[in-house]
Each structure stands twice: as structure tokens, then as C-alpha cells.
Amino acid sequence: MSNEVQDLPADDANGAGEASVIDQKRRKPLLIGLAVAVLAVGALYFLYDVFIGSRSVSTDNAYVVGDTAQVTPLTSGQVAEVLVTDTQPVKKGQLLFRLDDTDQKIAFAQAEAGLAYAQRRYAQSIANNSALGAAADASAQQIASAKARLASANASLAKAQADYKRRAALANSGAVSAEELAAAREALTSAQAAASQAKAALDEAQSNAVSARKKEQASVALTSGTTNETAPEIRLAKARLAQAKLDLQRTVVRAPVDGVIAKRSIQVGQKVETGSVAMIVVPVNRLYVNANFKEDQLGKVRSGQKATVVSDFYGSDVTYHGKVVGFSGGTGAAFSLIPAQNATGNWIKVVQRLPVRIELDPKELEEHPLRIGLSMEAEIDLTDPK
């Protein structure tokens, strides 16, 4: 028994030695195989990068974006009826909600009355022009009559002057009595007064004629070159009527585009002001993708290049085809509320991402609708020469 026990360690030692010899013999081929494998992987990666990887760039940092349409009432009022709700598809021109139109109807009636009043005033102005013209003509005719009376008064004055001079010359000889001379003097005085009165009447008639003609000209100036359609006061009244009609029409609010209702914020009975956002319409047939590529991926990306996009919503079974239509004016960090300040001592370089806009095929969007904010995977074909 003691000999068998003593032989066991010797056998174990020989086995360990043989294993050590075998491991050393296999070590070199294993190292060589490992090196070959590393070189093969490196070569495959190099070939992939040159012949496959360099043909396209891809990212999973992409999201569905769309230009939403805000529905804002263009007149104020109380909400009388709401005909849509969130998530409801609508067509362009479809009725969304109504505002109470009582105030707008009153304003429209007032504008209609204002237009009728302006038209009547214009007709009155035209009639006044004719009346003032006739008055000016009558005043001009009175001048002729006043001139005739002045001529008659001047003739009577000349006769009275001649009679007085003749009697005054005979007064010293006693051929004319004092009474006749006094009567001739009174007749001369009366004739002089009549002539002065006739002259004043002529001046007054001339002044009245000038005044009447000025009034006619002033009245005509208000309507000169205008008609019942082009008169300023009538055009102003028509503009007010058109505004009142527009405000009345704006109490009925319709969808500006095709899409889906989102963020409805109004209820029946609520008072809304002009310009307040009542709801948003998302045009699901005009959505696009913002793909945020790393800056070192964009060296060969150009507008117009083809792109393929896969949505997490549908999975790889649905592939969208589109094209690059533009690049953002800056990275997301550049437009953040508090931009990063890199001029510091502990600065660490971080690879930035730049949004690339990819336009999708409308037909594919119609077949498989998307929603704003969905995650996407985008790949751009760099072999496209555009």
C-alpha cells in the first residue's frame, strides 16, 4: 500500500509535464490563428467601409416633423358650437366651430344703413350743385338789372343837375323864384341819393353774384370727377359694409388644411378673442423627417440625394422613400435656450449633430400615415450625384 501511495504523485507530475508540453506546442498556432482572425476582421471592416459603408450614412436619431396649422378666430365672440374634437380627421374647408354672431349682424345692419345714407347724401350734393348754379346765374342776371337802374338814376341826376344850374343862373335876374330854385335843389339832392343807392345796389348784386358762384364751385369740388360708385364717402361706407360682412362670415371657422385635429382648447360658451389659438390641425399628408446626423457623417451629403426611412411605428416591413431637401442653419446646441460656452478650461469635445430635412413621398404617407414625433431610422444614399 505504501508503494502505491508513493507512486501516485509521480504519475501526476508526469501528467502535468506532458500537458505543459502540449500547451506550449499549441500556443504558437493559436496565436497565429488569433492574429489571422484579427487581420481578417480588420480587412472585412476595411472592405465594408470602402465598398459598402462609404456608400451611405444612417442614423436612428430621426423624428417625424410637420408644419402645423393653428386655427385662430379672426373676430371675437362667444363659442356657440364646436363640431370637432381631438384626433378627428378633417378636410380643408370643413366647419370646425361657430361663434355667436349677434353683434356682427347688428354691425352689418348699421353698415348697410350707413351706405344708404352716404348714397342719399351724394345725390343731395349733386342736386345742391344744380341749385347753387341756378342761384349763381340768377345773381348774374341781377347785375344787369342793377346796372340799368344805375343808368336811369344817373340820367335823372344829370337832368336834375342841368335844371338846377339853369335856375341858379336865372335866380339873380329875378326870372326864377326862390321856391323854384329850392325845388330844383331838392330834386338834385334826391337824384344824387337815387344814383348813390343804385350804385350800392349794383355793388351788392356783383358781390352776391361772386359769392353765389364761389358757393357753387365749393359744392361742385366735393363731387367733381366722381360718380355714385366712386364718391369717397360712398366708397368708405362700402368698405365698412365689407368689413362688417367679413366679420360676420368669420364667426364660422373652417379648417385651413387637410389634417387631424390636435390640442383643441375651446368649449361651448367660452369667450374667445381675436387671434387666440382655438385648436391645431396637423397636416399628416405633408409631414417630413428631421434626421440628426453626426457632423462627421455629412461631408458627402447633398440636397437632392435619395433617402430611405423606416418608422418604429410600422417596423421594417414599411419603408418610406424620400430625398434630402435641406440642412438646418445650426446644431441643436447652437439654438438652445442657453447655448454651450466652449471657451472654458475644462472643455471636452463632443461630436455635434445637425438636423437634415428629408421630404417623404406623399403617396407613401397616404398609404401609411405617420404622426408628429414618431421615431425613425434614416439612411442617405451617398452615391447619388446630386
What CATH code is carried by the domain that includes residue 86? 2.40.50.100
Given 3-state DSSP classes, what are the helix, strand and coil percentages for the chain, each rounded to the nearest 5? 50, 20, 30
Lowest mean pLDDT among 118-122, 208-212, 366-370: 208-212
Q: How far apart are CA 362 and CA 309, in angstroms?
A: 13
The residue among 208, 240, 272 that closes a domain is: 240
CB atoms near residue 326 (< 10 Å): 12
- Give pLDDT tens digits for 132-187: 788 778 888 888 888 888 888 888 888 888 887 877 777 667 676 777 778 878 88
Overall number of domains in the chain: 2
Of 240, 267, 295, the domain-final residue = 240
44 occurs within a structural domain:
no
In terms of domains, do 233 and 260 share one?
Answer: no
210 in the same domain as 117:
yes
Residue 265's nearest CA partner among 65, 103, 70, 67 is: 70
- Band the pLDDT of 25: cuts 50, 70, 90: low
Residue 79, domain member (yes or no): yes
| Assigned C-alpha cell, 24 | 506550449
Kindly state whether residues 136 and 159 are assigned to the same domain. Answer: yes
In a domain, 267, yes or no: yes
Question: Is 149 part of any domain?
Answer: yes
202 band by pLDDT with thresholds 50, 70 and 90: confident
Q: How many whole angstroms separate alpha carbon 378 and alpha carbon 62?
A: 7
pTM: 0.62
What's the pLDDT tens digit per position in 26-53? 676 777 778 878 887 877 766 655 555 5
If asked whether residues 141 and 262 sit together in one domain, one would say no
Q: Which pLDDT score is estimated for 1?
A: 41
Q: Which of 257, 282, 307 is the last residue of a domain?
A: 282
Specify if 306 maps to a domain: no
pLDDT for the residue 130: 83
* Mean confidence (pLDDT) of the chain: 84
Q: Is residue 193 part of a domain?
A: yes
Asked if residue 232 and residue 109 are part of one domain, the reply reads yes
Report yes or no: 76 and 271 within 8 Å, Cβ to Cβ: yes
Please give the pLDDT value at position 94: 96
Query: What share of the chain has pLDDT > 70, as a percent?
Result: 87
The alpha carbon torsion through 362, 368, 373, 374 (nearest 10 deg) reads -130
| 76 and 110 fall within a common domain | no
pLDDT value for 106: 96
**Which residues 6+ apart lie within 8 Å of 135 measured at CB?**
212, 215, 216
Structural domain range at position 270: 69-94+246-282
